[in-house]
């Protein structure tokens, strides 16, 4: 039961589900204004190559700065954006912003340093509906952005009802040189079947496996087996949720290619990431 002050000053009691529904409607209407009011921000979380700890990728993670409610994490508004058909517009904004930022970072790199690649998350609804692959690929061409600067993260959920249409869309990206990464690997169903059916470049082992790999032999075995299997299929592996040095070492020993997590860095704004990059490359060349 939620309590609100009525017009006459008395308290009215309204059922909680009604209050929740109203809050949701308000959030939806605020979300419709958020793009125009410049309330979204992208944070970037570094992804490091485990053999030399060089920063070579970053994942773009959206944030919503709500004027009254403050910072709202993506888990609380992306599903809503999907429901009210805003995910296409938001996704286009994310793609443009991230591909702009990644060019700035790469232009600032000293010659000979590895290319920095940015990955953007694409929710299932986003790829199933709309023409974003055409819009995004055109944007890269028009702005002369090298496609290898960009990767797209999809979740297994998307592939569940994988139609020929989805396969065609994913293939359009890959043919153009945009890599496809399978996110949260291991949390969905029949992950192996997907690997057989879809050509992907990278898979990201979900942090739930990484978290317990040092204390739970089964989790460690799963992580090691996934890495070995991926490599046999020519797929590179990113471990998510690397929170300690011990995890980083164990993953490196297991042959994992890349790591992402609080141990290396938290998500940060674009300018902070640029500074982070510059500092890290000084350290590795010094």
Where do contacts with ligand C2E occur on this chain (CB under 6 A)? Answer: 45, 61-62, 73-75, 78, 94, 121-123, 153, 183-184, 207, 241-243, 260-262, 267
Residue with smallest beta-carbon separation from ligand C2E? 261
Q: What is the helix (H) or strand (E) element at residue 38, kind and residue range?
A: none
C-alpha of 53 from chain center? 20
Residue 75 touches which member of ligand C2E, Mg ion, none, C-beta under 5-8 Å by kind: ligand C2E
The CB-of-9 to ligand C2E minimum distance in angstroms stands at: 40
Closer CB to ligand C2E, residue 17 or residue 98?
98
The CB-of-235 to ligand C2E minimum distance in angstroms stands at: 17
Closer CB to Mg ion, residue 30 or residue 185?
185
Distance CA 184, CA 208 (A): 9
Residue 196 class from Cβ within 10 Å (0-12 exposed, 13-18 middle, 19+ buried)?
Answer: exposed
The CB-of-183 to ligand C2E minimum distance in angstroms stands at: 5
Distance CA 193, CA 185 (A): 12
By CB under 5 A, the residues from 101 to 130 that bind Mg ion are: 121
By CB under 5 A, the residues from 145 to 174 that bind Mg ion are: 153
Closer CB to Mg ion, residue 181 or residue 248?
181
Q: CA angle 55-72-154, nearest 5°?
A: 50
Distance CA 65, CA 41 (A): 8
The CB-of-209 to ligand C2E minimum distance in angstroms stands at: 13
Taken as a whole, the chain contains a residue count of 286
Closer CB to ligand C2E, residue 39 or residue 113?
39
Closer CB to ligand C2E, residue 73 or residue 177?
73
Residue 70 class from Cβ within 10 Å (0-12 exposed, 13-18 middle, 19+ buried)?
Answer: exposed
Q: Is residue 183 at the binding interface for Mg ion, with CB under 5 A as the rule?
A: yes
The CB-of-265 to ligand C2E minimum distance in angstroms stands at: 9
Residue 62 touches which member of Mg ion, ligand C2E, none, C-beta under 5-8 Å by kind: ligand C2E
Give yes or no for a contact between 103 and 149, defined as CB atoms under 8 angstroms apart: yes
Closer CB to ligand C2E, residue 117 or residue 123?
123
Q: Which long-range contacts (CB under 8 A, 24 or more apart) does 71-77 make?
A: 77/27, 77/31
Pairing of strands 40-49, 236-239: unpaired
Q: What is the DSSP letter of 56?
A: E
Q: Please name every residue paired with 2 in a beta bridge, in sequence order, or none if there are none.
A: 14
The CB-of-141 to Mg ion minimum distance in angstroms stands at: 25
The candidate with the shortest Cα–Cα distance to 94, out of 65, 141, 132, is 132
Stretch that binds Mg ion, among 3-11, 184-192, 256-264, 277-285 (CB under 5 A): 184-192
Using CB under 5 A, list all residues that contact Mg ion. Answer: 121, 153, 183-184, 240
């Amino acid at each position: 039961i939620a309590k609100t002050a009525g017009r006459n000053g008395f308290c009215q009691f309204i059922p909680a589900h009604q209050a929740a529904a109203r809050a949701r409607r308000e959030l939806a209407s605020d979300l419709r204004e958020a793009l125009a009011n410049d309330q979204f921000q992208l944070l970037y979380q570094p992804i490091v190559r485990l053999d030399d700890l060089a920063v070579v990728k970053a994942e773009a993670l959206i944030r919503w700065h709500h004027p009254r409610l403050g910072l709202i994490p993506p888990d609380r508004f992306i599903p809503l954006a999907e429901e009210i058909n805003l995910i296409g517009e938001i996704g286009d904004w994310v793609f443009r912003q991230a591909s702009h930022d990644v060019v700035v970072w790469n232009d600032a790199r000293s010659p000979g340093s590895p290319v920095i690649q940015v990955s953007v998350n694409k929710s299932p609804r986003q790829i199933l509906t709309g023409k974003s692959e055409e819009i995004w690929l055109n944007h890269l061409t028009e702005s002369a952005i090298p496609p290898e600067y960009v990767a797209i993260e999809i979740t297994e959920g998307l592939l569940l009802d994988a139609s020929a249409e989805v396969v065609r869309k994913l293939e359009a990206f890959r043919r153009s040189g945009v890599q496809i990464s399978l996110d949260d690997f291991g949390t969905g169903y029949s992950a192996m079947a997907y690997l057989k059916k879809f050509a992907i470049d990278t898979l990201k082992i979900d942090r739930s496996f990484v978290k317990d790999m040092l204390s739970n032999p089964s989790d460690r075995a799963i992580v090691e087996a996934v890495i070995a299997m991926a490599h046999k299929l020519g797929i590179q592996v990113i471990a998510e949720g690397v929170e300690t040095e011990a995890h980083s070492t164990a993953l490196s020993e297991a042959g994992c290619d890349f790591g992402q997590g609080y141990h290396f860095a938290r998500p940060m704004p674009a300018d902070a990431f640029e500074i982070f990059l510059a500092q890290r490359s000084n350290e590795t060349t010094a």
